[in-house]
């Protein structure tokens, strides 16, 4: 799927937009979470797609759609593996932009775009989830994990972004909670802004 010219064209468009937008916004009052692109980047995107594609018909959950960069990678994996993506974003305009981009890549039909506060939505959202990407605001990682943990399928893969700064692990409360989960194996990888990749054992419930 990542060889599909529509996917590559949209990916190239993202890379151009990200560079332009962040250069334009640097030093302006709009250089905040609402306006800036803060994508996982190509290496993490590729890794997300490789991992999600390794699952059979994965039910994928993403916290923090933003403008849809990581959603594009996840949707490509979902398409190939016969799965589906549910992605949550606080801001309507970001979600709408993401939907347009995914539509251009002919991938919007495998994605459910939800708008609102992830914690509110998670309280009412049922899994089971086979693959989860956590990439919204950092103080929400732990409360989000506490809500979604019971909804993880046996064998589920959990990826959290922005887990390293200057080589030091961040979001320690969240990372500790993941590591303390029975049956969970976890590794910190210096890919992009640092990710923690975890997998729940198949026998664990």
Ligand X SMILES: C[S@@+](CC[C@H](N)C(=O)[O-])C[C@H]1O[C@@H](n2cnc3c(N)ncnc32)[C@H](O)[C@@H]1O
Q: Are 89 and 65 in contact (CB under 8 A)?
A: yes
Give the tokens for residue 147. Answer: 């809500």
Cβ neighbours, 10 Å, residue 24: 12
Give the tokens for residue 94. Answer: 């970001």
Q: What does the alpha-carbon distance between residue 22 and residue 127 come to, in Å, rounded to a whole number?
A: 35
Interface residue with ligand X among 77, 122, 132, 140 (CB under 6 A) is 140
If binding is defined by CB under 6 A, does position 134 make contact with ligand X? Answer: no
- Provide the pairing of β-strand 152-160 with 195-200: antiparallel
CB of 39 or CB of 58, closer to ligand X: 39
Residue 94 Cβ vs ligand X, minimum distance, rounded to whole Å: 5
Region from 35-43, 173-181, 183-191, 196-204 binding ligand X, contact rule CB under 6 A: 35-43
CB of 116 or CB of 190, closer to ligand X: 116
Cβ neighbours, 10 Å, residue 20: 11
Q: Are 147 and 123 in contact (CB under 8 A)?
A: yes
Residue 179 Cβ vs ligand X, minimum distance, rounded to whole Å: 23
Residues in 55-114 that interact with ligand X by CB under 6 A: 64, 66-67, 69-70, 88-91, 94
CB of 130 or CB of 135, closer to ligand X: 135
Residue 25 Cβ vs ligand X, minimum distance, rounded to whole Å: 14
CB of 116 or CB of 154, closer to ligand X: 116
Q: Are 204 and 183 in contact (CB under 8 A)?
A: yes
Q: Are 183 and 152 in contact (CB under 8 A)?
A: no
Region from 33-41, 78-86, 152-160, 173-181 binding ligand X, contact rule CB under 6 A: 33-41
CB of 34 or CB of 202, closer to ligand X: 34
Interface residue with ligand X among 7, 10, 11, 39 (CB under 6 A) is 39
The full DSSP string for 23-62 is HHHTTSTT-STTTS-----HHHHHHHHHHHHTSSS-EEEE
CB of 55 or CB of 72, closer to ligand X: 72
Residue ranges in contact with ligand X by CB under 6 A: 33, 38-40, 64, 66-67, 69-70, 88-91, 94, 117-118, 135-137, 140
């Amino acid at each position: 799927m990542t060889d599909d010219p529509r996917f590559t064209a949209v990916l190239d468009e993202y890379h151009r937009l990200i560079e332009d937008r962040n250069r334009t916004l640097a030093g302006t009052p709009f250089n905040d979470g609402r306006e800036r692109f803060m994508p996982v980047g190509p290496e993490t995107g590729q890794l997300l797609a490789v991992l999600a594609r390794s699952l059979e018909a994965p039910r994928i959950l993403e916290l923090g759609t933003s403008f849809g960069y990581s959603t594009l990678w996840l949707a490509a994996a979902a398409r190939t593996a016969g799965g589906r993506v549910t992605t949550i974003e606080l801001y309507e305009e970001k979600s709408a932009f993401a939907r347009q981009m995914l539509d251009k890549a002919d991938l919007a039909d495998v994605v459910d775009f939800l708008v609102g506060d992830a914690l509110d939505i998670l309280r009412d959202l049922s899994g089971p989830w086979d693959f989860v990407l956590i990439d919204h605001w950092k103080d929400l990682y732990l409360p989000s994990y506490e809500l979604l943990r019971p909804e993880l399928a046996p064998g589920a893969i959990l990826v959290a972004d922005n887990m390293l700064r200057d080589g030091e692990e961040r979001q320690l409360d969240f990372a500790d909670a993941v590591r303390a989960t029975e049956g969970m194996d976890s590794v910190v990888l210096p890919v992009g802004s640092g990710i923690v990749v975890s997998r729940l054992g198949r026998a664990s419930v």
